[in-house]
Structure 1
Amino acid sequence: MAQSHATATTTTVETPQVRNITTSDVLEALRHGFEDFWEHPSHYAFAGVIYPIVMVVAAVWVSGQNILPLLYPLATGFALLGPFVALIFYEVSRRQELRMDASWRHGFEALRSPNLSQMATVGIVLCALFVTWLITAQVLFTGLFGSEPPTSLSGLFYEILTTGQGWTLIIFGNLIGFLFATLVLFISVVTFPLMLDRHVTARQAIETSLKASLTNTIPVLLWGLIVAVLLAVGMATLFVGLIIVMPVLGHATWHLYRKMIVPQAGRVARARAPRAARAPSGVRPA
């Protein structure tokens, strides 16, 4: 077990170096994410079911509490926690890269990483942003519609889609949500994979993620758009699609990290283990 995270404890800490990537690198990382998932789809889908279950429970809880205005902010806001939730999939891709047993159950070894406390610190930051988003959404709704919540989901939709206040809520709510999502994207796009791979502090990881995002703004924004679209598709299928979407995005995030961050001195980032049928020589490593 200790050997699985040896790089995090025995390698001299150095400042992570960022490199430039292109939009084609983002698409290639996504392709590698699908390939990682497809190695054992049933195994990873079982792990991915955790996320949609949480979403469904939250939806039921919101309905029962008669705080329907928070249903949409909750559904979209859970994406702010996605980078932390996907730790299991980063670990699986890391193990595949090292030619280790990459069964989904080994993904939980991420929770035994020497850097777990630093990951938890960033997780707390994401949770704080999630709560701030919910409070902001509630304040915006109350400011437009008053403190009395709608009594039914159909009544909520009617008020939002047929009134001026509703369209104001749609425009400004989504604009504010976009700002929250962009902030989370920039501070976390490589943060958790970096902390899983190296012994760095939460501050160093966040600073590296911000630097990588500002250096590769267009590719990172494209990645954010891909994440948003795939999550929307997953939610549109009553959260069932998230069983596939979450593992794919988690694996792809690891490969995006590999493309954006220069490997440590003396270590070459190896490409995912290719199947013999598609392992021609000269393939560019991820």
Structure 2
Amino acid sequence: MSRFHVLTPSDEQPAAIPVIRRIGFSDLREALEKGWEDFKVWPTHAIFLCIIYPLVGLVLGGMALGYAVLPLVFPLAAGFALLGPVAALMMYELSRRRERGEPTSIGHAFGVLRSPGFPAIVAIALLLMGLFLLWIATARGLYQSLFGVYGAPDAVVPFLRQVFTTSAGWDLIVYGNIIGFIFALVAFCISVISFPLLLDRDVGAATAIMTSFRAVMVNPVVMAAWGVIVAALLLAGSLPAFIGLAVVMPVLGHATWHLYRKLVI
């Protein structure tokens, strides 16, 4: 009987430690171009709309009912950067199958559920979800420490005035972005190639995370540029009303697979 595995591979023999290549900025451009080509083959924007629209509806509904959700709009939007690798799992699988010349359709994207590394994928996904929830709690706590528990306006204009015209608001912007950057950096190092690696090889969660960290350490400048590209595209896709994320997120998912293939031997 096969043993349940998360941190280690499913096979009894230890997996070889993946080797990391040094890459250049041209590799980032090529990964994005290949990601766009994959997206044109499978325009999966409808899947992401099914994820994005309910989130937008919850925020708008909370505002309509008078709940103080405005302080959490930016943290929730920024949280896409933390959970994006999980949402893009099907994109990795589609790109993987296309690269290998295997039969490929939207239905094949769910093959990720049958991957030997799926328990490890779930473990890392839960780790990222924990980071996301901790980020939301931290952002809420920072806001309340600066404005008080009942300090959130229930309308957009008063909220923006509160943030941009008060010293507490500027403290919120500065400290919030510093804290958010730390969360994003940790999530980026954990997940930048760990999910594609687990789809490609059954190495276990520990090796996948360590390999992802090593990819960043071996290519610090190039991977920092990739992080900036991802953040910029997610920001652009969030305007207006997160709708652009329906295209940005699948393209980045496909591109991440191709980036992984350039990074790992």
TM-score normalised by L of structure 1: 0.83
Is residue 59–residue 69 contact of structure 2 (8 Å, CA) maintained in 1? Answer: no
Q: Separation in 2 of the partners of 1:53 and 1:10?
A: 41
Cα shift at 1:54: 4.2
Deviations 1:103-129 (A, max 9, x none): 222112112212111101001110111
Q: Separation in 1 of the partners of 2:22 and 2:94?
A: 25
Q: Separation in 2 of the partners of 1:153 and 1:208?
A: 43
Q: 1:58 to 1:229 in 2, by over 3 A?
A: farther
Please list, as runs of the form range in 1=range in 2, the aligned pairs for 1:47-62 lying within 5 A after superposition.
47-60=47-60, 62=62
Cα shift at 1:10: 8.2
Unaligned runs of 5+ in 2: 1-8
Q: Separation in 2 of the partners of 1:28 and 1:54?
A: 33
| Overall identity of the aligned pairs, in % | 43
What is the aligned partner in structure 1 of residue 258 from structure 2?
A: 255
Please list, as runs of the form range in 1=range in 2, the aligned pairs for 1:219-230 lying within 5 A after superposition.
219-230=222-233
* Residue of 231, 234, 247 corresponding to 1:231: 234
What is the aligned partner in structure 2 of residue 46 from structure 1?
A: 46
Cα shift at 1:199: 0.6
Q: Separation in 1 of the partners of 2:58 and 2:212?
A: 30
Please list, as runs of the form range in 1=range in 2, the aligned pairs for 1:132-171 lying within 5 A after superposition.
132-148=134-150, 149-171=152-174
Q: 1:57 to 1:160 in 2, by over 3 A?
A: same
What is the aligned partner in structure 2 of residue 216 from structure 1?
A: 219
> Which secondary structure state, in structure 2, belongs to the residue aligned with residue 253 of structure 1?
helix
Deviations 1:217-244 (A, max 9, x none): 1111111111111111111032221111
How many residues get paired? 253
> Which secondary structure state, in structure 2, belongs to the residue aligned with residue 236 of structure 1?
coil
What is the aligned partner in structure 2 of residue 270 from structure 1?
A: none
Deviations 1:127-185 (A, max 9, x none): 11101111111111111111112232222111001111111111111121111111111
Say which is worse superposed, 55-64 or 177-186, in terms of deviation: 55-64
Is residue 159–residue 166 contact of structure 1 (8 Å, CA) maintained in 2? Answer: yes
Unaligned runs of 5+ in 1: 1-7, 263-286
What is the aligned partner in structure 2 of residue 190 from structure 1?
A: 193
Runs (4 or more) in structure 1 with deviation over 3 Å come to 8-12
Is residue 55–residue 239 contact of structure 1 (8 Å, CA) maintained in 2? Answer: no
Code of the residue aligned with 1:173 in structure 2: it is G
Aligned-pair Cα RMSD in Å: 1.8
Is residue 38–residue 254 contact of structure 2 (8 Å, CA) maintained in 1? Answer: yes
Deviations 1:72-117 (A, max 9, x none): 1111113201101100000000010111222222112112212111
Is residue 74–residue 134 contact of structure 1 (8 Å, CA) maintained in 2? Answer: yes
Q: Separation in 2 of the partners of 1:50 and 1:216?
A: 35
